[in-house]
Amino acid sequence: MNFIFLGPPGAGKGTLAAKVAEAYNIPHISTGDIFRDNIKRQTPLGVKVKAIIDSGSLVSDEITCELVKDRLSKDDTKKGFILDGFPRTIPQAEALEKFSKIDAAVNFDIADEAVVERLSGRRVCKSCGANYHIKFTKPAVEGKCDKCGGELYTRDDDQPESIKHRLVVYREQTAPLIDFYRNKGNLTDVDARPAAEKVLEEFKAKFPQK
């Protein structure tokens, strides 16, 4: 099946996408990964994207769609795929329809207050990048990484004011996609509040493997 994952920052889309990709044996495709891969391989589009990012500008819908179209043409997507971070806007969704069929848009539903609690409590290791949470996944020693002993810190975009701003941007730009796909009859809501394993169970129940 071809999936689009929707939901606000902090809904756990990336974590779930990785688990679903493994369980269903389909690739998890994020636009960030596509950008990085093309830049690393120095493809013509990658060179263009690097120049745009280096200048501080946003990559246009046209270039983003070209990169996604190219990625979806690869052999590993024949059994299905998960798109995470694309489309972000209605024009991108309309462009996607011209080169790919989407079976289900999955909306990982979670209240803003839960997102703020989830993200503001996140702590990241400065050395190895491991993630912890002051409430849900505490390190054995406060402020120290269990894996490498590195110092844990709060990312700038995990500060409460920054999270609230990201949620405003999401509601304005990306949330209209929920109505777009609901009107097409292929939107499915999944409760993103429980632990990842519980959310995966609900996902599997709603999308049984053939």
Q: CA 89, CA 87: separation in Å to the nearest integer?
A: 6
pLDDT computed for residue 205 by the predictor: 96
Question: Could you confirm whether 182 is annotated as catalytic?
Answer: no
Catalytic residue among 36, 50, 88, 164: 88
pLDDT computed for residue 190 by the predictor: 95
Query: Model confidence over 183-207: pLDDT tens digits?
Result: 999 999 999 999 889 999 999 999 9
pLDDT computed for residue 67 by the predictor: 92
pLDDT computed for residue 136 by the predictor: 85
The candidate with the shortest Cα–Cα distance to 81, out of 153, 28, 36, 18, is 28
Angle between helices 61-72 and 90-97 (to 10 degrees): 40
Question: Could you confirm whether 155 is annotated as catalytic?
Answer: yes
Question: Could you confirm whether 41 is annotated as catalytic?
Answer: no
Catalytic residue among 126, 155, 171, 184: 155
Q: What is the mean pLDDT of residues 19-25?
A: 95
Q: What average pLDDT is seen over the chain? A: 92
Query: Model confidence over 93-108: pLDDT tens digits?
Result: 999 999 999 999 999 9
Q: How confident is the model at residue 7 (pLDDT cuts 50, 70, 90)?
A: very high
Question: Could you confirm whether 118 is annotated as catalytic?
Answer: no
At 208, which amino acid appears? P
pTM (2 d.p.): 0.82
Question: Could you confirm whether 36 is annotated as catalytic?
Answer: no
- Please tell me the chain's helix, strand, coil percentages from 3-state DSSP, rounded to the nearest 5: 50, 15, 35
